A and B are shown apart, each in its own frame.
Chain A
Amino acid sequence: MVAGYNTISMGTGRKEFHPKKERPGLEDYIKEAGQGTLKQIGGARYVDECVIGNFMASRFNKQANLAGFFPFIDEGLKGKPAIRVEGACGTGGLALLTGIKSVLAETAEVVLVIGVEVQNTVKAIYGADILAGAGWFKDRKEGHAYFFPGQFSDRAGAYFEKYGRDKTRKAFARWYRNAIENARLCPTAQEYNNTTKDLEACAITEPNGKSFVDHLNVFDCSKVSDGASAIAVVSEEGLKRIGIDKRDAVEIVGWSQVEDDITRKPMEQTELTTFRLAAHEALESAGISADHLGTAEVHDCFTIAGVMAVEAIGLAGIGKGTDFILEGNTARDGKIPINTTGGLIGWGHPTGATGVHQAVTILEQLTGKAGKSQIQITPERPYALSVNMGGNDKTLVAIVYKRG
């Protein structure tokens, strides 16, 4: 993969964001991200295929048939194959895999992959309806007004019960602090302008079940975001064609995609079992263990998901994710910096774009192009992992990367 590009993650938190002012539309984000990547690879003429990932433009923007926006990005894409994929918040990961498979199938040497979502077209309370589509619609009626926060609040409640509330909430607060501190170093991050002094004190605010959910507060949640990310999935042949050095690319050394039954409730509220399966399969296919990871991008749609992700990857034992986080291991100067540009809580969560954003962050970190967010990647731990999740542990994509 090469030539990553992220638009700003727009929404509350950004200085430029005013809910009542007109903002760029879906097509503007697609165009900006697409052109950002095309420019780096020498233009549309080198592209063989296009993939766009998007979750719910059909409702957020009343727009479908998104593949039709590729020629809008660049006339040179007219007449080329293009496809749109969807897997809720795991959409971006599926888009990447679709590109990877085309390259592996040798139907393409260069695939342009974009993920996009524009969600601030409706108030959060109606956005919750739309995002609930990531779950089974037959569960919607009995679900919470804020459907997904409700689902993960239940998980947090179960985790509190099993492993202790205080420590877990402290780990949530630390997770939040790490996310914001990382976001402050990344100019496209939604929380880039966050100036709160004591982040952990702010994050420990008691949840209020009357206006939101029982076990999580707003700081435990990912952002409502507008944004797009793009990257090129390229074969070695393709790299030559676009004239980019291997060292400026990341190699995909392993991957996994697994699904769980959307009509079923989680087997275990305190674990992300499908997430675990995907992460393990990916590491296995790369022939490495979690100890070889220099960094990871994990799907922290909620702080509780962050805690369980650390356990699911195998960085910490079951029920030990909180300690791992509180010991500072996931901070940017820790053993394995996680979500180095803020993740879903700090950078933002334009749902259909998130999986692609994860890949762009890893590409930048491994090739030394992460600017102020740059962490040090050592020869002992040269690998990186991204795990993108759709729904409540249903659609999972895990990818292992290494510098080319």
Chain B
Amino acid sequence: MNYEERLQNVSVLGAAGKMGSGILLLTSVELADLSLKPENKGKSFVLNAIDVSDEALTGVMRYLKSQVLKIAEKKIVALRAIYKNRQDLIENSEIIDQYVFDVLSVVRPGTRLEATYESGIIFEAIREDPALKVRIYTQIKENNPNHPWFFTNTSSIPISELDEKAGLGGSIIGFHFYNPPAIQKLVEVIKAKNTLSELEDFALTFAKNLRKIVVPSNDIAGFIGNGHFMRDILYATSQVDLLLKDLSFVEAVYAINKISHEYLIRPMGIFQLIDYVGVDVCSYILSVMNSHLENEELSSTLLNKVLDLGVKGGQYSDGSQKDGFLKYEKGKITGVFDPGKKEYIPVQVIQGKVEEKMGIMPPVLPWKSVVSNPAKEEILKSYFMEIKKSASFGASLTLSYAVNSRQIGLHLVNTKVAFNEKDVNTVLLTGFFHAYGPVNEYVL
């Protein structure tokens, strides 16, 4: 089977989920584009969108339509060329409508797993539950005569483990999109021990056709992205503990979030990122990673403690942020959760004490003004010089945070999760939108 034949019947499992819906969007566009190539005339391309509820699938079809419309409007110049022989399509609006129709007609939403039995490729983005994933792979494998290839989006489960437990014989690869898949440029590609080389080649071609940046990562739980993120969380919580000598819990959380956001010039602070991903998801990823790592204890009593109190973060269906460690109003942080009082303490009450403790800091450089600035290197160099020169407590916290982040990066290379430092940096730059990679010279 060549590239196109493989893609003539594809399934996305968990198609109504956060990741699944994005993967569905990208894949439906790729399939439709293939179907519109003159050489593919007459061939059919089918994309099964599978999830457990019809209601959620209806919602996802609506999402798909609105997103494909935007994509069509953006690539109208190319679309006019694609439809040049359709004499009935003259105006942009007619061409755009036709394209939206053509993309949506590739997609077959449904709740029955049987639909996957004819697929050549299966994108899996269901819950991060190894047993469930294995059970579903096994069932598909047993019923699908086409020896389908599995693309799993797992964030933390080693691919080899899934391969072995489901008996896939290497027909699986980690294809780890970042959230949201349609926007984030990065895909971590993770080969299992036995992943078929044709499958790997296909995965790289597919990623290229989706115009993604590929970073290969070794099959070690957490891979590069979560390998850094989870350890960064643990460092942050250990810093909170240290600060408890002089500050209250909410003040300490606020301080570390501010350090990791504003003073490290990141798009958001570490506790905000935990809330964004979900406290439950982070805690779960930690536990999966922990079960696969020797000589290292990855777990956070703090995360588990707030989870027990029902504090979860995550997003509402409209994409707005739910309260977690922090409280949000219209996207702004307005409070910090106090596990003792079981309530949010307003930022105004916390701020003053934290600022006093931080001392006089070099002026904050907004992340936005740095991240795509052509003079970024110079700016960062002199900024960290200032941080190093400053005698304030805040500056020393900032520096040790950055140094620790660097060490995590090096650790990922030393433990062979990443092939090199550059790959670590690429993941943090493109998957987490950091303004600079963790393995850098600024903080030395």
B87 located at the interface, meaning its Cβ lies under 8 Å from any Cβ of chain A in the complex: yes
Is chain B's binding surface mostly helix, strand, loop or mixed?
Answer: helix
B238 located at the interface, meaning its Cβ lies under 8 Å from any Cβ of chain A in the complex: no
Kindly report which residue of chain A lies nearest to residue B86, judged by CB atoms. Answer: A141
**Contact at A141–B92, with CB atoms within 8 Å?**
no
A83 located at the interface, meaning its Cβ lies under 8 Å from any Cβ of chain B in the complex: no
The smallest beta-carbon distance between B280 and chain A, in angstroms, is 34
In the bound complex, how far is the Cα of B91 from the Cα of A137, in angstroms?
10
Contacting residue for B92 out of A125, A209, A211, CB 8 A = A125
In the bound complex, how far is the Cα of B80 from the Cα of A255, in angstroms?
41
A123 located at the interface, meaning its Cβ lies under 8 Å from any Cβ of chain B in the complex: yes
Residue interface mask A143-156, B partner, CB < 8 A = 1: 01110000000000
**Contact at A212–B77, with CB atoms within 8 Å?**
yes
B93 located at the interface, meaning its Cβ lies under 8 Å from any Cβ of chain A in the complex: yes
For chain A, the count of residues having a C-beta within 8 Å of the partner chain is 16
A140 located at the interface, meaning its Cβ lies under 8 Å from any Cβ of chain B in the complex: yes
**Contact at B92–A129, with CB atoms within 8 Å?**
yes
**Contact at B77–A144, with CB atoms within 8 Å?**
yes
In the bound complex, how far is the Cα of B211 from the Cα of A210, in angstroms?
15
**Contact at B90–A141, with CB atoms within 8 Å?**
yes
**Contact at A145–B93, with CB atoms within 8 Å?**
no
**Contact at B90–A144, with CB atoms within 8 Å?**
no
**Contact at B87–A128, with CB atoms within 8 Å?**
no
Which residues does chain A contribute within 8 Å of B80, judged by CB atoms?
144-145
A126 located at the interface, meaning its Cβ lies under 8 Å from any Cβ of chain B in the complex: yes
Which residues does chain B contribute within 8 Å of A145, judged by CB atoms?
76-77, 79-80, 92
Which residues does chain A contribute within 8 Å of B79, judged by CB atoms?
145
Which residues does chain A contribute within 8 Å of B77, judged by CB atoms?
144-146, 209-212
Contacting residue for A126 out of B74, B78, B93, CB 8 A = B93
Within 8 A of B (CB), among A102-132: 123, 125-126, 128-129, 132
Provided the pairs A123-B73, A141-B87 are in contact, do residues A128 and B92 lie with their beta carbons within 8 angstroms?
yes
In the bound complex, how far is the Cα of B96 from the Cα of A128, in angstroms?
13
**Contact at B91–A129, with CB atoms within 8 Å?**
yes
**Contact at A125–B73, with CB atoms within 8 Å?**
yes
The smallest beta-carbon distance between A19 and chain B, in angstroms, is 13
Residue interface mask A163-186, B partner, CB < 8 A = 1: 000000000000000000000000
The smallest beta-carbon distance between A123 and chain B, in angstroms, is 7
**Contact at B90–A125, with CB atoms within 8 Å?**
no
**Contact at B92–A210, with CB atoms within 8 Å?**
no
Which residues does chain B contribute within 8 Å of A126, judged by CB atoms?
92-93
Residue interface mask A202-214, B partner, CB < 8 A = 1: 0000000111100
The smallest beta-carbon distance between A232 and chain B, in angstroms, is 38
Which residues does chain A contribute within 8 Å of B73, judged by CB atoms?
123, 125
Within 8 A of B (CB), among A14-66: none
The smallest beta-carbon distance between A211 and chain B, in angstroms, is 6
The smallest beta-carbon distance between B106 and chain A, in angstroms, is 23
Which residues does chain B contribute within 8 Å of A210, judged by CB atoms?
77-78
Which residues does chain B contribute within 8 Å of A146, judged by CB atoms?
77
Which residues does chain B contribute within 8 Å of A141, judged by CB atoms?
87, 90
Within 8 A of A (CB), among B98-142: none
**Contact at B91–A140, with CB atoms within 8 Å?**
yes
The smallest beta-carbon distance between B252 and chain A, in angstroms, is 40
In the bound complex, how far is the Cα of B92 from the Cα of A132, in angstroms?
11
The smallest beta-carbon distance between B79 and chain A, in angstroms, is 8
In the bound complex, how far is the Cα of B76 from the Cα of A217, in angstroms?
16
The smallest beta-carbon distance between B430 and chain A, in angstroms, is 22
**Contact at A140–B78, with CB atoms within 8 Å?**
no
In the bound complex, how far is the Cα of B73 from the Cα of A129, in angstroms?
13
Kindly report which residue of chain A lies nearest to residue B72, judged by CB atoms. Answer: A125
Interface centre among A123, A125, A144 (most CB of B within 10 A): A125
Kindly report which residue of chain B lies nearest to residue A122, judged by CB atoms. Answer: B93
Kindly report which residue of chain A lies nearest to residue B89, judged by CB atoms. Answer: A141
The smallest beta-carbon distance between B108 and chain A, in angstroms, is 29
Known: A209-B77, A211-B74. 6 other contacts (CB 8 A): A123-B73, A125-B73, A125-B76, A140-B90, A144-B80, A210-B77
Question: Closest 6 A-B residue pairs measured CB to CB?
Answer: A129-B91, A145-B76, A145-B77, A141-B90, A129-B92, A145-B80
Which residues of A are in contact with B by a Cβ distance under 8 Å?
123, 125-126, 128-129, 132, 137, 140-141, 144-146, 209-212
A-B contact pairs, 6 of them (CB 8 A): A129-B92, A140-B91, A145-B77, A145-B79, A145-B92, A209-B77
